[in-house]
Chains A and B, each alone.
Chain A
């Protein structure tokens, strides 16, 4: 953490989830009750963060400038520019079809999987142009992990799910070294105690919330630098959602997180910075292009946004 870090934010982080704690027992932790109570406290209200200015000198992870994404001739995102900072949670919010997921999928070049997708403008990751011809998308994805909208564990054992990434990356083979990676990843994802006795069972036997935490464990097993989360809670119930959100607070000490969410309250609860996207309808071709309307600290976005459209959206007047 940098020196300019505000203590109020620390209290935000105080979820009782120490990401370095590898001794286990976290769900039974007495701190957990404190965390649960926290949900009722006004901490969730963005206004509680009034005046909590974010330090700007933090390392920039992603520097996006004038980014456009096309699917064939159709422009899905227009001229997006923003900076994503280290050890922060950055939220993308906005109505459906505003291009927030599309933009997120540029960050680990997931759009490469779509034949017609094309990206223009600049997207720098620690200063390196991610779309430089010499950059291998596979290498990018090893450093930038992703958690998807719907939990998508492999139909394999819990152990094999977590071990998949490290194995593919050649970090470890079967054996004690891999067992350690699996255990640490599951602990970081606050899932270890629930599954430690059934690592050989099929991951599809887990509940939806557990599956999503398994997917998070699987994503952090390769020790990425950044975690991209594409509406990770949209398929989960409120209790599972709370657990994932708590988990994210714990994870941001180790990782930088970019999360796309439909849920404004979620953005307000978890993120440090928020980008609001909107849709621009082209009356001639009747196509919808996503535009980045405003990007600022979450506290400012939810209490005193500069743009009227943002204000209308966060106050629930549209979208």
Chain B
């Protein structure tokens, strides 16, 4: 195409194959669509939640949601504090179990374990993570209640917030452990060497160098675990010691309904949801509260992480 001696290029020589350019564009759009599906689904969920919850909030007699004797949705008594206290108790108990055990496991795996021990413990943690929550619900009700709860002041023969909380805690141990371990493994080896080179023992290195440097990941692991514990349904439904309705109680030895457990019992049952006019909508209202709680928790967590993180 060139005249003799001319070094000029045509635009076409550098435009590439039109077919390949087109194919690349199609692939890029297809990938965008798949990513967009999750956005659409999220929006739909929020919409469904808000729509029904809105009906509840518009029509409910608000005095029925506060200061009542308990949660009796089929009789038009929607005492939210009952559910909130139960959720708080089970989540708190779960974290008392999961935070030390999960972080301890993470510290062991990341800082202490020899490769051979790691190869033994890590898969076991993963198996624990894979146990269906129904199984853990049974475990909490049939083993934890008589063998643990009964020995720390509770009754062994039935479910309770304590039994459910411990069960949820066991469920979240692998979650805390794996996120914490990732955070600690991301701390550069050179920092551990610096610390060791200054005559620090492993415990000191872990406490003063690794944990502060990994704090964002550690906090993240706790936040994820709290969200998971707040939202956990099956274990608290089975081992929480209450179904359909609950009397308000502040004692973790009693049975009660957490928010998701209350939702599960509303949505189950042979009679569908019958009762007072707004019973069905109360399910969505509880869901909305739960959603707002976990959302707020994540926002607070993000802020906290940004403030205390040691950048490396």
- Chain A residues in contact with chain B, CB under 8 A? 108, 110, 113, 115, 138-139, 141-142, 145-146, 148, 150, 152-156, 164-165, 168-169, 202, 204, 215, 218-219, 222
Contacts and interface: CB of A to CB of B under 8 A. Distances in A.
Nearest to A218: B198
A145 B198 contact: yes
Interface residues of B, number: 23
B123 interface: no
B190 A152 contact: yes
Interface of B: 114-115, 188, 190-201, 204, 208-209, 212-213, 310-312
B188 A165 contact: no
11 contacts: A115-B114, A141-B196, A146-B197, A150-B190, A152-B188, A152-B191, A154-B209, A155-B191, A164-B198, A164-B208, A218-B194
A169 B200 CA distance: 8
Contacts of B192: 113
B197 A108 contact: yes
Contacts of B197: 108, 110, 141, 145-146, 148, 219
A134 B114 CA distance: 22
Give 9 nearest A-B pairs by CB, closest first: A142-B199, A165-B198, A146-B197, A155-B310, A152-B190, A141-B199, A155-B312, A168-B200, A152-B194
B114 A215 contact: no
A219 B212 CA distance: 21
B200 to A, nearest CB: 5
B193 A148 contact: yes
Contacts of B310: 154-156
Interface-centre pick from B190, B198, B212 (highest chain A CB count, 10 A): B198
A88 B115 CA distance: 40
A215 to B, nearest CB: 7
Contacts of B115: 115
B213 A155 contact: yes
Contacts of B212: 155-156
A169 B115 CA distance: 29
Contact of A113 (B193, B201, B208, B312): B193
Contacts of B311: 155, 202, 204
A53 to B, nearest CB: 34
Contact of A148 (B190, B200, B204, B213): B190
